[in-house]
Structure 1
Amino acid sequence: MIAKPPPPRKPSPQPPQPVARRPVGRPGAAKPRPVPAAPGFDWRERAHQYALLMRLHRPIGWLLLLWPTWWGLWMAAHGLPHWQVWVIFTLGVVVMRSAGCVINDWADRWLDRGVKRTRDRPLVSGTVSATEALVLFAVLLLIAFGLVLLTNPLTLRLAFVGVGLAVVYPFMKRHTHLPQLWLGAAFGWSVPMAYVAEKGELDAMTWLLFLANVLWSTAYDTIYAMVDRDDDIRMGARSSAILLGDLDLIGIGILHASFLLAMWLVGSRGALAWPYQLGWCGAL
């Protein structure tokens, strides 16, 4: 007999598989993507960038402004000035120098991009926007205005002239080779303001001190401009360093000699004692 083949085994039952559910919504609609969380506003970083824009990390700038201001206060008072006036002008110098740096960088964006020394400034690198710079400038002007309101009306009127000098300065390098002379006038304007705030009037000594500061500021800023001379020529900017050319050192020497002469006249007309004369000799 032929053996019958064994009957085929029935497949074992499989557990039921879960049915995938379609997302609720319109047919064919794309799945919503997770929205990334907005980064928080870092006040420390903003404050750091604003401080860089105002050059607070380089105190030599406001020190160069502060010394002539103190000259004016001490000469007007014939000794120690009133402490309130001293505080007002010390703070005012720091605030206005910061404001000057902000408006200068805002106006010089076209130039700073092409100058090696300045291409990393906040406005050029984009860490501070042009709108932020203008707002910061306005805030600093309001602070300075609040300080000058604590003085007398003549000082307030002179303050408007000082603001005009500071605002116009950045644009001078586009039209004249003497922006350093204009900067000297802007830096020196604190002298008549301090003189009037302390003494209440202007006299010949005021303008002699002002002239001395203009000469001194023009001299050291011309040295500063010599560093950027090649970049300024390439970018189409102007400066006293470009104007003087190969005679730059001679021109700077004449400016410094004129400054020392003006300071000698200050000591002579003011009948200042021997420590001043000794300091003047040391400056030689």
Structure 2
Amino acid sequence: MAVRDGGGSAPVGSQEQAVDRVRETVARSRRYGAVAPETVRRLAERALVASRGDEPEAVKRTKRSLHEIYGAYLPERAPGYPGLLRDIGAAVGGGDPDAVAAAVSRAMRVHASTRERLPYLREFYAAVFGAVPTPAVVQDLACGLNPLAFGSMGLPAQTTYLASDIDSQQMEFLDRALDLLEVEHRVEVVDLVSGAVPAQHADVTLVLKTLPLLERQRAGAGWELVDALRSPFVVVSFPTRSLGQRSKGMFQTYSAAFEAQAAERGWTFDQAEIANELIYIVRR
């Protein structure tokens, strides 16, 4: 028998079943099948409320939300991860550093965020890691394909790299690619908005172009994440142009928001702007 709350709302059991149906429908789609179930379920719950229980509409809303936070950064066709792994493996086996760098760059072009950063990759990481003590452990949250840039970060070979995101196929690819590149690492699938903040200590945590996406899903989620991190240094960045290369006053909006939050928490920080990215290196 379904359990009802005291306010005459729909039966709890039927609500949960509706969420499951929406989640399962979205998960069967080719584009979003690899997304963490927690992410899809959370967005499905919100979509069902917004659509007043209309399940087909909730499926559309869930896919739209996934596009905004995930799908827009990837190509329309599924990334060719097996071929990219073969290219990286062949380049590593050939022993030519230039060939390895070229194969890694081709892989990084699959994701919009890393593709945008490629022209100034070394400059970007010189600014980041030149401002902090040399880390033994780096954590990269909502990482996309950013861990592939390890060779451009100027870090010691023995550095441990912890990477997480919501795409299980992407994380499997990174795990195998970082093995080939001989980077000490651990990868996991994590939905940051659900409160699954990694508990491990890291000397530096990267949260690159991520806070606006978390805040879009739930107000306060991004700042709660940063507060919960076990890192003395946190690198937060914001895009200053959209994927369509429009500025929309993004620098002013994000800089004002960040600096207000930093003042409230008593953080000290360095600021840099490189190409279309506003960077804050926070000491806590």
Establish whether TM, by shorter chain, passes 0.5.
Answer: no
TM-score, normalised via structure 1 length:
0.28
> As a proportion of its length, which structure holds more helix?
1
TM-score, normalised via structure 2 length:
0.28
- Which one has more relative contact order, counting CA pairs under 8 Å at least 6 apart? 1
